[in-house]
Amino acid sequence: MALQSPVTLRVDKFNCGIHGWVIACALEVAVPVVVRSATLLALVACGTCAVAEDLGDSATPAPGTPRQADLNGLGVEPLYDLSTSDHELVMDLKAMLGYGYDSNLNATKTHSHPSSLIEGLAGMDLDWTPTQNDALKFSGDLDDIKYLAHTSRSLAGGKTDLDYRHSGTDWAAGGDANFSRTNDPYLITGQEIKHDTGHIGLDGTDHWSQDSGTVSLGVDRIAYLEAAPGAFNQDDLNSNDYTATLRFADQYSEALQAYVQAAFDGRIYDNKHRDPPSLIPGTDITTVHGYNNSAGVDAVVGLKDQLTTSSGLIAEVGVDLRRYKHSFAKDPSFNDSQVIKPALDVIYRWDWAPGSSLDARAYSSVIDSIYANAAWLYGAGVDARYLVWEEQRISLLGGLGLYQLKSSGSPDTVQQPNAEVRTTTELSGGAEYLIRSGVSARLTDVYDSSHSKYYNTFTRNVVEGELGFAF
C-alpha cells in the first residue's frame, strides 16, 4: 500500500503516457520517503510528465555505488551476489516486515476507525541483458497488509512490472506491462479503496543527427474491488484509457534537450447507466453515479537540462484539454462538457552532498472527478534527504506537499452554489538506517490535513516502522 513520493523519485528515466506519472514511470529510485498518502496519489496518477531521457550524472549512482534492491522505496544492499559471472543475469530476492498505526482508515471527520497494522512483503527483481542491445527487467512483489482493529480493511495485494528494451544504432523500441492491487487513497475523497490497475504499452524511438522522434501506445485499466460509501458504487469508475503519444526532441548539447509532445487519450467507462441521485451521508447534497466517457489531448513543450554535475531540471508547460459526452449529470448548470487547464510539470533535483539530496516539483493537470466531469489538480511539493552519519549510513528524511482540486462545475443550488474545492497539506518525516549488507530499517510519519468545501474534511496520521532484507 505504500507509495513513493514522486518528488523524491530519482529522475533517471521516464516512460509514460498522457497521464504519465504512473508508478512504473520511475525505473530507478533513490531510496525515497515512502508514505500512505492521498497527496502522493495525486502525483502518482495525474502528472503531466512525458517520455523523457536521463537527467544525467546528477541522477545516476556514482561509480562504485553498491547496487540496492528496492522495497517500496527502501533501498537495501543485497547480502549475496545472485548474478552470473558476466552479470548477464542479475537477481535480487527481497522481503520486508512493517508495523504501524493509521489514525483514520476511512478518511472522515467522524468515525475515523483508527487501527494498528502489520505489513509483510516478499518479492524478486530480475535484470537480464542477453545481448549488448537488449535488456529485460522484471519486478514482482506480494504485499499483505493486516489492520488489527478492522480486519475488513486488510488487503492481500502487490505489484508486478515487466519491461523490455532493444537499442539499435539509430533506433530503439520496447514494451512494458504492469499490474497492481492496492488500497491507495482515492484522490478526490481521500478514502482508501481497494482496486486493481493494469497497463500495457509499446514505444519506439528513431534517432537522426541530434534529433529524435518517439511514438508510444498504451492501454490502462482500473477496476475497483469495493464501493466508496457516499462517493461511488463498486462498478461506477471501472474504465479503460487508450493513449497515443507523439514526441519530437532536439539535443542542443550534451546537457540540454528541448522537445514538443502531444498525447491523446480516450477514456471509456464500463458502466453505461446512471443511478438516481442519492444523498451524500452527513450532508444535504446529492450526487449522481455514472460517469461520462471522454477524450483528451495534453500538449506541452519541454526541456531537460543537466544544470551542474550535481543538479538537473525537467520542465514542461502546455495545455490539458478534455471533451466529455455531456455536462455532468446532463445538468446544463455544470457547463463542463469541455474542460481546458494549464498543463505543467517542473521537476528539480539537487544532490547537494554525497548521500544528501533535495527534490522539488510543481504540477498542473485535469483529472476525472465524481462531483463534476473533471477537477483541476495543481500543487507543489519538496522532499529532502540528509546523510547525518556516513559511517553508520543513517539518513533523515522530510517533506512538505500542498495541492488543490477544483471541480469543473457545480449544480448552482442553494446547498452548492459554487464548485467543490479540496485543499490538502501533507507533512512527512522519518529516518533510515542501512544496518549492514542485506538489512535496512526505516521509520516514517506522515500527517495529512484535507479540507473540502462541501464534502469530506479529515486529518490522518500514519506512522510505520519497517525492516527490509535483500539476498
Alpha-carbon distance of 142 to 62, in angstroms, equals 31
* pLDDT given at position 286: 62
Output the tens digit of pLDDT for each of the chain's 471 residues. 433 333 322 222 222 322 232 222 322 223 233 334 444 443 433 333 333 334 433 334 444 456 788 888 888 889 888 888 777 899 999 999 999 999 998 888 877 789 999 999 999 999 999 999 999 999 999 999 999 999 999 999 999 999 999 998 899 999 999 999 999 888 898 888 999 999 999 999 999 888 999 999 999 999 999 988 777 888 889 999 999 999 999 999 989 999 999 999 999 999 876 655 566 655 656 666 668 899 999 999 999 999 999 999 999 999 999 999 989 888 888 999 999 999 999 999 999 998 899 999 999 999 999 889 999 999 999 999 999 987 778 999 999 999 999 999 988 888 888 999 999 999 999 999 999 889 999 999 999 999 999 888 999 999 999 999 998
By C-alpha distance, which of 70, 81, 45 is closest to 377? 45
Q: Quote the cell numbers at residue 208.
A: 537522426
* pLDDT given at position 284: 57
By C-alpha distance, which of 82, 65, 80 is closest to 31? 65
Secondary structure element (H or E) that encloses residue 39, with its range: helix 38-46
* pLDDT given at position 389: 85
- Burial string for 389-428 (b: 16+ CB within 10 Å, else e) reads eeeebbbebebbbebbbbbbbbbeeeebeebbebbbbbeb
> In degrees, to the nearest 5, what angle opens at C-alpha 408 toward C-alphas 21 and 426?
50
* pLDDT given at position 278: 62
Total domains in the chain come to 1
What is the span of the domain harbouring residue 201?
3-470
Assign residue 229 the CATH number of its domain.
2.40.170
Phi-psi category of 431—alpha, beta or left, where left has phi over 0 and alpha has psi -120 to 50? Answer: beta
Three-state SS sequence of 273-329: CCCCCEECCCCCCEECCCCCCEEEEEEEEEEEEEEECCEEEEEEEEEEEEEECCCHH
Q: Cell 462541501 identifies what position? A: 454
In three-state secondary structure terms, 40 is helix
